Amino acid sequence: MSVAVLGGGAFGTALAISIAQVRPVILWARNAQDWTDRQSPRLPDAPVPDAVALTGDLKRAIGADTLLFAVPMQSLSGLLAAIPETLQGKALVACCKGIDLRTGQGPAHRLAETKPEATAAILTGPSFATDIARGLPTALTLACADDTVGQALQTELSTPNLRLYRSTDVAGAELGGALKNVIAIASGACMGAGLGDSARAALMTRGFAEMMRLALHFGARTETLAGLSGLGDLALTCTSPLSRNFRFGEALGRGDTPDATMTVEGKATARAALDIAERAGLSLPITTAVHAISTGQTSVADAIQGLLARPLKEE
Ligand SMILES: NC(=O)C1=CN([C@@H]2O[C@H](COP(=O)(O)OP(=O)(O)OC[C@H]3O[C@@H](n4cnc5c(N)ncnc54)[C@H](OP(=O)(O)O)[C@@H]3O)[C@@H](O)[C@H]2O)C=CC1
Ligand SMILES: O=C(CO)COP(=O)(O)O
């Protein structure tokens, strides 16, 4: 089986570097011709080894049997539109975290709907690209509704520093990975505003309750949310300044202007999550606050006041 990673940003590049330890891998980057010293502009100090076939030729990359889609969530549909070819018999693995604004779908569902001739899966969990590229140990969830394909992917994509746990709960893996970014923005804002570790712990816990509320409504399993792709990634992203979502929130909390060039998946995901929650009749107060501060509709101080002023309730 041959593997190609589509997307030469931080995560796609790190995955290709790791997979190259165990099998040949193609890395497709739309700007491959601009790379110097085989380094992604999005992942400095991590040149891709010669074992990675770096290319700017999308047609060549999609010839592989397993395709990993590692672009930001809101770019996934555009990338799929650039692939009119049938992907019959291939495994398509979503490596993005978010909810598509236009359709309200997670990344594996986007793949399945757009390319029904292939088998869709998702790879997600607590893993900074820089850690993977440095060969540090990481554990992720590989979710595929077809467990036979899931088992094959688990074997194919595990590497000495990438340990994959398997699941058939695609919706749970998608929503855990998407929603933790929203809560990471809230945690960053909390720390940037100097509210302290206790407040962050409260936000993480009540944020996790929101993640569960939405995900279980859409058929996800509790153990998936409590696993690597949910709680695991929530813990990582809400507590580390390596997280771009956390740093975005932290800048807002400090009253600074966030770096506009940074990929911050939680911003669009907050909007998309509120849309699907509204249709489902669910309340997501922290997500509502994150959407309001991310779009400049509310100050962080007012958002915090709004959350604290909510009626007292049972846990
Ligand atoms: N970074 C991390 O630690 C992790 C990231 N992820 C997830 O991986 C996904 C990608 O993030 P990440 O790699 O970090 O993002 P980056 O910002 O590092 O890179 C995004 C990459 O996607 C490319 N891209 C954007 N749109 C398209 C398109 N339509 N067609 C082809 N390429 C496109 C960009 O190209 P260009 O530079 O030309 O714009 C860029 O190379 C996100 O969903 C993120 O949540 C998951 C786990 C860890
Ligand atoms: O998803 C990630 C770690 O698991 C990366 O988080 P950021 O996108 O916030 O940097």
How far apart are the C-alpha atoms of 265 and 269, rounded to whole Å?
6
Please check whether residue 100 is in contact with residue 120, taking contact to mean a CB–CB distance below 8 angstroms. no
Residues 6+ apart with CB under 8 A from 39: 45, 46, 47, 48
Report residue 309's pLDDT band, with 50, 70 and 90 as the boundaries.
confident
Q: Span 80-90, mean pLDDT?
A: 98
Does residue 105 have its Cβ closer than 6 Å to ligand 2?
no
Which bound ligand lies closest to the C-alpha atom of 237? Answer: 2
Q: Kindly report, residue by residue over 182-239, the tens digit of the pLDDT.
A: 999 999 999 999 999 999 999 999 999 999 999 999 999 999 999 999 999 999 999 9
Q: What is the reported pTM?
A: 0.98
Per-residue burial over 159-197, b if 16 or more Cβ lie within 10 Å, else e, is bebbebbebebbbbbbbbbbbbbbbbbbbbbbbbbebee
Q: Is 90 left (phi over 0), alpha (psi -120 to 50) or beta?
A: beta
**Is pLDDT at 154 greater than 90 in this prediction?**
yes
Rounded mean pLDDT, 256-265: 97
| Comparison of pLDDT for 308 and 60, the residue scoring more | 60
> What mean pLDDT do residues 154-177 have?
98
Mutation choice for ligand 1 from 5, 35, 42, CB with most ligand atoms inside 8 A = 42
